[in-house]
Structure 1
């Protein structure tokens, strides 16, 4: 399991190094994750090596949200003061995202000719 953890961190480090050295707009951990996913897909041996570590991390994933919850509780008064603005931002951004998604879907359907016909 130590080898698997070392490999996991090595992929993250390689992605970070690549992202910074090439000034890519993609975060290093994302590059490392894509590279590791390719290795997992292409190598059954690598998959077997990483499986126990990944299952262990995923089974305790909820613990990774504890620091965020503590931060929210620690700044509860500030969040309370900004509550109406945050609620409005969430509602408006959700509505805009749904509208843009629907418009994009409609535009792509028209461009590809797969628009439904009315009978």
Structure 2
């Protein structure tokens, strides 16, 4: 019963994100609205981490399984993608390097603020 209650909380937050997406004319995905709502609920203490921990852990554990359908879709679209392989690969490499650099800089800045940096 605990898992159903936790899953219900996550579904309610997801539904609220979907509602916001419908009523706010901004190009923001509903999942982002849901994540922001959940962050606010966690920061304010309305929802405690313990209220959703086990179900969240389960969903994170099965997340790789969610990538199988898109991978199959890519394999089926190979004929269309094969002619554009070099530009796609270039974008993937550049965006990966960019994301790694920004993530590293943000972590360094946060570590410096909290006094966890070595030196």
For Structure 1 versus Structure 2, the TM-score category normalised by the shorter chain is 0.5 to 0.7
**Displacement of 1:37:** 1.5
Residue in 2 aligned with 1:17? 19
- Bigger radius of gyration: 1
**Displacement of 1:89:** 4.5
Q: Is the 2:6–2:55 contact (alpha carbons within 8 Å) kept by the matching residues of 1? A: yes
Q: Is the 1:13–1:29 contact (alpha carbons within 8 Å) kept by the matching residues of 2? A: no
Relative contact order, higher structure (CA 8 A, sep 6+):
2
**Displacement of 1:88:** 4.5
Pairwise CA RMSD = 2.8
* Alignment TM-score, normalising by the size of structure 1: 0.66
Aligned length: 98
Provide the C-alpha distance between the structure 1 equivalents of 2:15 and 2:47, rounded to a whole number of angstroms: 22
Q: Is the 1:16–1:29 contact (alpha carbons within 8 Å) kept by the matching residues of 2? A: yes
Residue in 2 aligned with 1:113? none
Residue in 2 aligned with 1:36? 38
* Alignment TM-score, normalising by the size of structure 2: 0.66
Q: Identify the match of residue 62 of structure 2 among 52, 60, 63.
A: 60
Provide the C-alpha distance between the structure 2 equivalents of 1:56 and 1:68, rounded to a whole number of angstroms: 21
Instruction: Trace 1:67-78 onto structure 2 (pairs within 5 A).
Output: 67-78=69-80
- Where 2:26 maps in the other structure, the secondary structure is coil
Residue in 1 aligned with 2:49? 47
